[in-house]
Amino acid sequence: MTTKYNETINDSIVGEKTCSSIEIPPKMLTALTELSKLLPNVKSDILCDMFKSGQLVPTVVQEIDTNEVLMLAYSNIDSLMRTIQSGYAHYYSRSRAKLWKKGETSGNVQTIISIASDCDNDTILFKVLQKGVACHTGSHNCFFNQLYINQ
């Protein structure tokens, strides 16, 4: 059974914000409700667009001081909630099929400064304060393999 998001969530949580055109599975509805509580100023249709069908959302990670792109990872509702609750970047690992905190073993954590979505609500941008290196190879960022330079 699926439920329309705006028919289930208390108006005090989402106010006039709705996304009634999207059918939401009950488990997803619960997660979206919790995420809405953490992001009271975000329109629910943005969250519905972003996480429709439980999909993973590409997440670009940018250094706050330099605007350098550090890495690309994937977020789901649970990793975004953990990120907001803890103040540290959490992602969903496609290869390991589980959530992970960036820097959990290396100590190279990413402190969240801000979170934004793009114009289509299908990509997330984390602006972070990076401790140490961002790439598992030891490089400061993950984009060091030059493919092309227009000369």
CATH code, domain carrying 118: 3.10.20.810
pLDDT given at position 94: 93
The verdict on residue 39 lying in a domain is yes
Domain end position, chosen among 37, 52, 67: 52
* Cα–Cα distance, 140 to 68 (Å, whole number): 10
Average pLDDT, the chain: 85
Q: pLDDT-based confidence at 26, cuts 50/70/90? A: confident
pLDDT grade, residue 59 (50/70/90)? very high
State whether 79 and 46 are in the same domain: no
- Interval 10-22 mean pLDDT: 45
The pLDDT assigned to 14 comes to: 38
Q: Are residues 27 and 81 both part of a single domain? A: no
Count of the separate structural domains present in the chain: 2
Cβ 24 vs Cβ 32: under 8 Å: yes
Domain coverage including residue 40: 3-52
Would 42 be classed as within a structural domain? yes
Please, which pLDDT band fits residue 99 given cuts at 50, 70 and 90?
Answer: very high
Note whether 64 and 48 are same-domain residues: no
Q: Are 84 and 30 within one domain? A: no
Looking at the structure, tell me whether residues 63 and 123 fall in a common domain. yes
Residue 1: pLDDT band (50, 70, 90) is very low
Q: How far apart are CA 16 and CA 36, in angstroms?
A: 13
Q: Does the reported pTM lie above 0.75? A: yes
Let me know whether 114 and 84 are in one domain: yes
Q: Are residues 30 and 67 in the same domain?
A: no
Ranges assigned E (strand) in 56-143: 57-63, 69-75, 90-93, 98-101, 110-117, 124-130
